[in-house]
Structure 1
Amino acid sequence: MPFTIASEVTFEEEIKKSRFQALAVPVANEQDVKDFLEMSKDVSTTHQCWAWKIGHNVRFNDDGEPSGTAGRPILATIEGNELSNILVLVNRWYGGVKLGTGGLVRAYGGCAGQCLLLAEKIELIEKKKVSFSCQFNEWAIFQYELNQQQIEFQQDYTATGVYVVALLQIHQIEPLSLKIQDVTRGREQLKMLEEPQHD
């Protein structure tokens, strides 16, 4: 059962005069990763190393540290905690004492690990993207239903009615599907939108 974290957490420590700061943040897709890294750019740091995991997709970056001493240990910590949809960034301000490759692995992995210990883990719920259409006079019923179940949705008003795209948890699919058939008297069906799901 994969987990993610509830909110952003930070942990800081000093190792042999170098200051390390880890930031862990939940992400839903690669755009979230890009936005966070862009926002977190800090020219005062010596290195900004990171790793992220979203579903089966993983990336990591050593940002100038010897290969395999920073990004990979951060990723190992993420995977060791069975986390997904998460980005961990570790900033380092060099303090003049070289740590050696083993020291760097321990520093980056350890700092990321301490940071993740502070995070509140929440179950990662898989969601599926679906769509359906309805007439204007039916929309209020569906809008109420979606809001009641706290389902994320977007609606587009067309010439003939309303086109809705929603993100559903697996257990919500069948009840909504039946509701659509019921309200539209079988005229409309819930459609699964098959696209690569990074959620």
Structure 2
Amino acid sequence: MPFTIATRVSFEEEIKKSRFQAYATPVETEQDVKDFLALYKDTSTTHQCWAWKIGHHVRFNDDGEPSGTAGRPILATIEGNELTNVLVLVNRWYGGIKLGTGGLVRAYGGCAGQCLLLAEKIELIEKKQVSFSCLFNEWAIFQYEMQQQGIEFQEDYTAEGVTVLAKLQIHQIEALAKKIQDVTRGREQLHILDEELPDAG
């Protein structure tokens, strides 16, 4: 059973006058990764190194540190904790003392590891992207239903009514599909969309 982390956590330490600051956050898509990195872009740092894993897809970035000394150890820490759908960013402010390649690997991997130790591990619940349409007068019923179940959704108003995109946990699909058939008297049905992440290639 795959695990992710419940919420964003951070950890900070000083190693030979360099300050290291790690953030770990749950992510579901590459867009989540981009949004987080944009939000935490910090020009005062010497390096902002990161790694993420979503399903079987991984990426890492050394951001100017010697190749293999930052991003890869961060990724190894994510995988060592058997986590997925996680991004870890480690910022470094250089303090004037070189750490050497072994020191850098230990610093980045260690800081990422300490940060992940603070995170609550939770079971990763698989979600499916679904879509359905309804008339304006039916929308309030579905909106209420989805809010009650904590379902993420976004609606798009058209001339004919409302088109809805939602992310459902597997066990929620059948009940919503039945509700749609009941409320629309069989006129509409729930469509499951296959959302594949682009291949890391």
TM (normalized to structure 1)? 0.90
Q: Distance in 2 between matches of 1:57 and 1:170?
A: 22
Give the superposition deviation at 1:193: 1.7
Q: Distance in 2 between matches of 1:48 and 1:25?
A: 15
Structure 1 partner of 2:190: 190
1:45 aligns with 2:45: yes
1:92 aligns with 2:103: no
Structure 1 partner of 2:72: 72
One-letter code aligned to 1:79:
E
Give the superposition deviation at 1:36: 2.2
Q: Which stretch shifts more, 96-105 or 166-175?
A: 96-105
One-letter code aligned to 2:8:
E
TM superposition outliers: structure 1 runs of 4+ over 6 Å = none
Q: Distance in 1 between matches of 2:36 and 2:143?
A: 32
Give the unaligned 5+ runs of structure 2.
none
Kept after mapping to 1: 8 A contact 2:29/2:197: no
Structure 1 partner of 2:14: 14
Distance 1:45-1:155 versus aligned 2 partners, 3 A rule: closer
Structure 2 partner of 1:63: 63
Q: Distance in 2 between matches of 1:92 and 1:137?
A: 54
Kept after mapping to 2: 8 A contact 1:70/1:109: yes
Which secondary structure state, in structure 2, belongs to the residue aligned with residue 72 of structure 1? helix
Structure 2 partner of 1:173: 173
Q: Distance in 1 between matches of 2:33 and 2:162?
A: 32
Which secondary structure state, in structure 1, belongs to the residue aligned with residue 65 of structure 2? coil
Give the superposition deviation at 1:197: 5.3
Q: What CA deviation, in whole Å up to 9, does each residue of 1:7-30 have, x standing for no partner?
A: 221111122222211111222222
Q: Which stretch shifts more, 12-21 or 101-110?
A: 12-21
Structure 1 partner of 2:131: 131
Q: Distance in 2 between matches of 1:180 and 1:58?
A: 37
Q: Distance in 1 between matches of 2:158 and 2:45?
A: 51
Q: What CA deviation, in whole Å up to 9, does each residue of 1:74-115 have, x standing for no partner?
A: 000011112222211111222232222211111110110001
Q: Distance in 2 between matches of 1:94 and 1:58?
A: 27
One-letter code aligned to 2:185:
R
Give the superposition deviation at 1:38: 2.3
Kept after mapping to 2: 8 A contact 1:128/1:197: no
One-letter code aligned to 2:52:
W
1:24 aligns with 2:15: no
Distance 1:39-1:151 versus aligned 2 partners, 3 A rule: closer
Q: Distance in 2 between matches of 1:44 and 1:143?
A: 44
Q: Distance in 1 between matches of 2:155 and 2:63?
A: 42
One-letter code aligned to 1:193:
L
One-letter code aligned to 1:126:
E
Give the unaligned 5+ runs of structure 1.
none
Which secondary structure state, in structure 1, belongs to the residue aligned with residue 41 of structure 2? coil
Which secondary structure state, in structure 2, belongs to the residue aligned with residue 50 of structure 1? strand
